[in-house]
Amino acid sequence: MYRVGVDVGGTFTDICCIDDDTGELRIAKVPSTPLNQALGVCMGISRVIEQCGESSAVSVGYLAHGTTVATNAVLERRGATVGCVVTRGFRDLLEIGRQRRPHLYDLYADKPAPLVPRNLRVEVEERLLPSGEPLQRLDPEAVRSILKVLNSQAELQALAICLLYSFGNGEHERIVQRVAEEVLPGIFISSSHDVCPEIREFERLSTTCLNAYVGPVMNRYLRHLEKAVSQYVAAAPLLMQSNGGLITVDEACRYPVRTLFSGPAAGVVGARYFGQLAGFRSLITLDIGGTSADISFVQEGRIAESSEGEIEGWPVKVPMVNIHSIGAGGGSIAHVDPGGLLKVGPASAGASPGPACYGRGGVEPCVTDAQVVLGRLNPGYLVGGDLKLDYEAAVRAVGKIAETMKVDLTAAASGVISVTRSNLVRAMRRFLAARGLDPRDFALLAYGGAGPLHAAELAEELGISTVIIPPIPGVLCAFGLLVAGVRRDFVATSVVALNEGSLESIMGIYRDLEGQAIRWAQGQNVDVSRASILKQARMRYRGQGHELSVTLTGDLTSLGLRGVLEAFHREHKRCYGFDAPDETVEFVTAVVSLHADTLARPVVLVGRQKGCGPKERLTRTVFFDGGPLPCPIYRREELPPGEEIKEPAVVEQLDATVLVPPGWQAHVDRFLNLVLARR
Amino acid sequence: MVDSVSLEVISNALLSIAEEAGETLVRAAYSSNIKERRDCSTAIFDSRGRLVALAQHIPVHFGSMLGLVQEVLRRYGPEDLHPGDMFIANDPYCGGGTHLPDITLASPVFADNRLVGFVANIGHHADRRSWATSIFEEGLRIPPIKLLSNYSIRQDVLDLVLTNYRVPHQRLGDLRAQIAANLLAEQRLLQLIRKYGYPLVTECMDGYLKYSARRMQAALQALPDGCWESQDQLDDDGVSDEPVVIRVRVMKSGGMLKFDFSGSSPQREGNINMVWNALVAMVYYCVKAFLDPELPQNAGVFDCIEIVAPPGTVVNALPPAAVDSRTETCQRVADVILEALGQARPERAVAMSHGTNTTINLSGIHPDTGEFYSYLETFGGGSGARSNKDGMDAVQVHATNSSNLPVECLELEYPILIERYELVPDSGGAGKYRGGLGLRRDLRILAPEVVLTGHGDRHKTAPRGLHGGRGGATSWLRVQRADGTIEILPSKPKRVVLRKGDLLSVVTPGGGGFGNPLERDRRLVLKDLTEGRITAACAATDYGLAREEVVEDQFAETYAKREVE
């Protein structure tokens, strides 16, 4: 049986295929088809199946997919026409939000245009109290007449419903939903008590509206995709979510907001997999692509999580992999600013036209151009298999910087790399410091087209002594899809002081959520015996404005009140450096995550050139911080497990180039990771 | 001279140190004001006390940072500065601050007995809020004194400080976080020196300031030589009804930009006075916002800025003027400076924004718990329209950018019910580009007795429009008593007692419009009308929309009916 992972990116659609019987991995890259991503997906699947020597794809028993359809709909503002129902008095909540302006100093910056225009946001007469008790009951007939008027305002494609305190009592929202199903038949409905049953009205409303905004688009795409791939694949596709776990097409259709950050999340899942094979349970992961760098971490085998993210200024309150993205990639443009300093990014030449060396009409000096000038990238090299780099174009572009700075070409190029590195180091330090983490306690796992080029020098600056480059750094997101499990989070909010009196009701909440999780798993044909359940509690000291997520190990009965309290104090101390055992702890949100492995056994990559040893094809001059050095060039696929590489060296492979700078040495582990160690 | 790559790399590293210290401060802080609202800043100074790198979230902190280390150097000679010293200060008049709740800590950093510079941070200690007419009643005044000596806390100093606060354990928690942040910044700065050497790092500090000056000069090139003026007034100072005049004259001549505030009102008894450092912060804010939003935040930009403000005026107050509500004046100072600068470059101009920092504080005994509570909220309003687009609706502007509290959280904590939270139609000044809308929040009182104190402005004069744009709507504050009687409250209410069933309505001003409203794109007028941002009457009278063009918001009637309620 084959397992296939397909990840759609801006330029390429990446495919990873593993033969479950032999462990052999095949990868393919096909151009993405932005107008209908399904075309590229199908093309990629058939390409990789051909490589397997199979005539048809019926032997594909597993298909996992990461898509940017929902994300692009938000970024390009091509979502549905949405109506929105809120509590009386709160028509403008979506626009007022947290009343912060988008930029502290830019007087010409703007807030994002509302996802639902003001005339399509309507109020219903109803009000719940913080306890969930109704202060004013909702009249279904009033809802009916309001929805009729709303329907006459525009051709609605979706409806978002978000009433105050619905996280604790969804009854009024359910009434609105029932009436809407009658008055607006066939419309996509997103109710906040279902999509995001969490406290804080604006974040819940924003999440609910985003879900409605991308709902119709995602439904069209996924239903089409399902049909299209069924010609090739026996298995029903699974979709990647922002939390690093997979869900079915039906679930993704209902909760498309959960897929908004799925691509980067899959990458971190893949990174953890190779990091663990290499024997490292704590990793900083760094994915550098064309326009941005994504930073995340894995601590003691657990992927960093966050309960909230943001897209285009809109809060998204769903559990997700904690990823920090900055505008630093291979396509980032270098320039000398009005004060005479060399700056890199955040403007980017992106994939099109791309860096000057791509020869697609780009003329701005990009980071990749500097790498070419410095001999770090092979000018005769093929990017993604089909693009030859244009050395002369890179020289011309970087030459402009050299001229402005009045230095020679390589000094300018080195400058571009140094500045890029300092930008990355600054972002990484800040991200880690905010979480109380010391980079020296981690190994750095770098991937993406450009990650392996920068990794060792970044590690040097951060005091990190080990760098891991997985065997397939350019398609790690697609690989992550192969090894990710199924995951679904169930949340419930109930704000109570945590004490003997409230413990029983809290235990009831967890029992209820676990019941939901298991029923869900059975309904999805998930092998419950392979499933694990993770319980988390979001709590705070009374008076704090944000909650801290604490993992509850073991069942609550045996943990008891003291166990839960201690877990919170401990986590607070670990994260923030202090605890306050005398203060009241408030329980806010219960999270139950069901995770089920889909992998029958570990993927073991087969070494491709066992025993044939590396041939040094050529040597070229590469410029490092200390100056030019002759540097042997290795082909990654010719390096067998156990091979040692001395500094300095360049290791080239189809989808990336690894730099082994002076002061570092590398070896290939038995899983084909290239592990760099500081001497 | 340092090469441009080393300069960028090392200045980036200095900023990185400030940011890392800032994250450490936020992470280790105890109070929610610092922890969640990030009301704090961190910075690095050179050996002459010039601010080099700043990581901040609150524009007005810039002023406190500029002032503190200068004040330390004025009082302590080189023989008094040692490794392991850490100074504490908060006083606006002799501690470099802008109001007492902002407590600053600063440490000299030495490498091999040579002074490298200083690391410092500010934390806002939101412990007490009192309405007073002199600085002596506003809280504990701390001039720069050593809180740490030889890396150990001086217990006597700490005790003196903590004794003066209501929640000492929170103050201690926050101060510890501030100390930790400075110690971390010191370590990082020393590491940087070990890596690049003392000469290069200090050269880069100087080089970065010079770079900032060059960048400021480059930004100045975009302004023609000339002189531009603006004047506006606050309703009152909360004590007398006399308006508070703010006046500025901006002069650009060659490479210099001069701001002259002569003609502004003498300092007042009410607590709306600004001290010098706050004024400097607002001038800097405006220069950066108007000329170059990416301008570095350091002392270098002041090489070509001159500020004149007669001592004893409301923009450069002398002791014992009270300063706690200084942000009211800060906001207006920003509005007048931007209006003046806008005459120099109309394409970068912005009409006046809501121009206040509307704040209410409700406190009392919670009927359910029997405990004292204090609920503080600040409100945004309309921002001014711009030369090519509308202003933003309901945002914080200029000196502040603080979040509101989620309704679902505040109702849980305080005996208050929020009955409406919405944009105010027609409040944005009409114009080719419309000013942003103000907002309205209605709060129902659920406890037997609640005390209201607060500050705001613009009840009497509206934010002006530009180039034919109309002014934004004024604001108001009122209470509808449980028996139905309506009381109009002043913009700066002091200890107003509210009772169960009373409804407090807070309405903030809209922003000024830009350009002739009759030139507004008809489609935008219709869109505003459809969306209920303007009423049919406004569309007809202000924008000249013909009656047959009017397509009413289907819900306008419903919402209009409610206005009458």
Cβ contact, residue pair B422, A425, below 8 Å: no
pLDDT, residue A234, reads: 80
Residue pLDDT, tens place only, A75-112:
999 999 999 999 999 999 999 999 999 999 999 999 99
- Tell me which of A237-241, A556-560, A611-615, B28-32 is least confident: A611-615
Pick the residue from chain B with its C-alpha nearest to A135.
B417
Question: How close is the nearest chain A Cα to the Cα of B262, in Å?
Answer: 26
Q: Which tokens in the block code for residue A220?
A: 């069209």
Place of tokens 């791309």: A354
Whether B488 has its CB under 8 Å from any CB of chain A: the answer is no
* Residues 6+ away with beta carbon under 8 Å from B199: none
C-alpha to C-alpha distance for B412 and B446, rounded to whole angstroms: 12
Instruction: Considering only the beta carbons, identify the residue of B29, B59, B412 that sits closest to A495.
Output: B412
- Report residue B57 as tokens: 């979230």
**B556: number of Cβ within 10 Å:** 16
- Nearest one of B354, B359, B394 to B377, comparing CA atoms: B359
Note whether A341 contacts B419, CB cutoff 8 Å: no
Q: Which of A242, A181, A239 is nearest to A210 (CA)?
A: A242
Is residue B404 over pLDDT 80? yes
The token pair that represents A45 in the structure block: 């699947």
**Which two structure tokens, joined as six digits, stand for A202?**
């604006």
CB contact under 8 A, B350 and A199: no
Side-chain-side CA neighbours of A98 within 13 Å: the count stands at 16
Instruction: Using DSSP, state whether B122 is helix, strand or coil.
Output: strand
pLDDT at B557: 57
Report CB contact under 8 Å: A407, B3: yes
CB-CB under 8 Å, B379 with A340: no
Share the mean pLDDT of chain B. 93
Distance from CA of A205 to the nearest CA of B (A): 12
B28 part of contact set with chain A, CB < 8 Å: yes
pLDDT band at A280 (very low <50, low <70, confident <90, very high): very high
Minimal CA–CA distance to A656: which of A411, A468, A412?
A468
pLDDT at residue B562, rounded to an integer: 55
Query: How many Å apart are CA A14 and CA A560, to the nearest integer?
Result: 48
Asked if the C-beta of B36 comes within 8 angstroms of chain A's C-beta atoms, the answer is yes
pLDDT at A617 exceeding the cut of 70: no
| Angstrom distance (rounded) from CA A424 to CA A458 | 8
Q: Which residue has the higher pLDDT, B145 or A36?
A: B145
Hey, what long-range contacts does A145-149 have (CB within 8 A, 24 or more apart)? A146/A85, A146/A122, A147/A85, A147/A122, A147/A179, A147/A180, A147/A183, A147/A184, A148/A183, A149/A122, A149/B554, A149/B555
Quote the percentage of chain B above a pLDDT of 70.
Answer: 96
The number of residues in chain B equals 565
Which residues are within 8 A (CB) of A619 and not within 5 positions of it... i.e. 6 or more apart? A630, A631, A632, A633
Question: For A339, which of B5, B218, B379 is closest by C-beta distance?
Answer: B218
Q: End-to-end CA distance of chain A, in Å?
A: 43
- What are the φ and ψ backbone dihedral angles of B260, each rounded to 5 degrees? -115, 120
Identify the pLDDT of residue A350.
80
Separation CA A443–CA A249 (nearest Å): 36
Output the pLDDT for position B559: 59
- The three-class DSSP label of residue B386 is strand
Give the residue carrying structure tokens 């930073």. Answer: A295
What interface predicted TM-score (ipTM) does this complex get?
A: 0.94
Mean pLDDT of all residues in B234-243? 96
Cα torsion A52, A54, A58, A63 to 10°: value is 10
Yes or no: say if B28 and B177 are a contact pair by the CB < 8 Å rule: yes
- CB-CB under 8 Å, A543 with B218: no
Distance CA A207, CA A323 (A): 18
Across the range B79-95, mean pLDDT stands at 95
Q: Which of A107, A199, A340 sits opposite B211 (nearest CB)?
A: A340
Per-residue confidence (pLDDT) for residue B553, from 0 to 100:
57
What average pLDDT does range A477-492 have in this prediction?
Answer: 93
| A506: Cα separation from own chain's centroid | 31
* Cis preceding linkage at A353, omega within 30: yes
Cβ-contact A204, A198 below 8 angstroms: yes
Closest chain A residue by Cα to residue B290: A107
Most confident among A182-196, A601-615, B362-376 (mean pLDDT) = A182-196
CA distance A631 to A534: 49
Amino acid found at A74: V
Task: Report the residue from B214, B290, B395 with minimal CB separation from A339.
Answer: B214
Mean pLDDT of all residues in A378-390: 71
Residue written as token pair 């000044």: B429
Chain A residue whose CA is closest to B399: A104
- What integer pLDDT is reported at residue A546 of this predicted model? 83
CB contact under 8 A, A89 and B215: no
Cβ B211–A341 below 8 Å, yes or no? yes
Identify the pLDDT of residue B434.
98
**How do strand A656-660 and strand A649-653 relate by DSSP bridges?**
antiparallel
Chain B residue nearest residue A122, CA to CA: B555
Give residue-wise pLDDT tens across range A527-578.
778 889 999 999 998 878 788 999 998 788 888 999 999 999 999 888 887 7
Structure-derived torsion over alpha carbons of residues B390, B394, B397, B400, reported in degrees to the nearest 10: -160
Residues of A in contact with B286 (CB under 8 A): none
- The continuous run of DSSP H or E covering B543 comes out as none
Distance from CA of B398 to the nearest CA of A (A): 8
Tally Cβ neighbours within 10 Å of residue A266. Answer: 30
Contacts of B15 in chain A (CB under 8 A): 426
Alpha-carbon gap, residue A446 to A283, rounded angstroms: 10
Chain B residues with CB inside 8 Å of A98's CB?
403-404
Residues within 8 A of A (CB atoms), B 405-444 only = 405-409, 411-412, 417-423, 439, 442
B59 contacts A104? CB cut-off 8 A: yes
Rounded CA gap, B99 and B317, in Å? 12
Q: Are A354 and A362 in contact (CB under 8 A)?
A: yes
Q: Among residues 333-372 of chain B, which lie with CB inside 8 Å of chain A?
A: 338, 348, 350
A-interface mutation test, from B42, B298, B407, most A Cβ less than 10 A away: B407
- Own/partner long-range contacts of B134-138 (Cβ < 8 Å, ≥24 apart): B134/B320, B134/B321, B134/B322, B135/B91, B135/B92, B135/B93, B135/B100, B135/B319, B135/B320, B135/B321, B135/B322, B135/B323, B136/B320, B137/B322, B138/B99, B138/B100, B138/B271, B138/B322, B138/B323, B138/B324
Q: Is the pLDDT of residue A604 over 80?
A: no
| Cross-chain Cβ contact B15/A426 below 8 Å | yes
Which residues in B lie closer than 8 A to residue A423 (C-beta atoms)?
A: 12
**pTM, 2 dp:** 0.94
Q: For tokens 């040097």, what's the residue?
A: A460
For residues B130-137, average pLDDT:
90
pLDDT, tens digit (0-9, with 9 covering 90-100), for B436-487: 999 999 999 999 999 999 999 999 999 999 999 999 999 999 999 999 999 9
| Tokens standing for residue B118 | 């200083």
Chain B residue with the nearest C-alpha to that of A337: B215
- d(C-alpha A179, C-alpha A138), whole Å: 12
pLDDT of residue B565: 45
Shortest distance, CA A118 to any CA of chain B (angstroms)? 5
Going along B51-93, which residue ranges are E strands? Answer: 51-56, 86-89
- From CA B380, how far away is CA B353, in angstroms rounded? 10
Measured in angstroms, the CA of A432 and the nearest CA of chain B are apart by: 9
Ramachandran class of A196: left when φ > 0, alpha when ψ lies in -120 to 50, beta otherwise? beta
> Each residue of B465-495: b (16+ CB within 10 Å) or e?
bbbebbbbbbbbbebbeeeeeeeebbbbbee
**What is the DSSP-derived secondary structure letter of residue B534?**
S
* C-alpha to C-alpha distances, B493 to A49, A223, A254, B132, B453, nearest whole angstrom: 75, 60, 50, 13, 5
**Is B392 in contact with A111 (Cβ distance < 8 A)?**
yes
Kindly determine whether residue B16 and residue A430, on different chains, have CB atoms separated by under 8 Å. Answer: yes
Q: Is the pLDDT of residue B183 over 80?
A: yes
Q: Kindly report, residue by residue over A166-192, the tens digit of the pLDDT.
A: 999 999 999 999 999 999 999 999 999
B24 touches chain A (CB under 8 A): yes
Which chain A residue has the Cα nearest residue B442?
Answer: A89
The secondary structure of residue A636, as a DSSP letter, is: G
pLDDT band at A291 (very low <50, low <70, confident <90, very high): confident
Task: Write out residues 510-539 of B within 8 Å (CB-CB) of A.
Answer: 530-533
The whole-number average pLDDT for the span B119-123 is 95
Provide the chain B residues 43-82 that lie in CB contact (below 8 A) with chain A.
57, 59
The pLDDT value recorded for residue B564 is 43
User: Where would I find the beta strands (DSSP E) of B456-551?
Assistant: 476-480, 486-488, 496-499, 503-507
Q: For A540, name the nearest residue in chain B, comparing CA atoms only.
A: B32
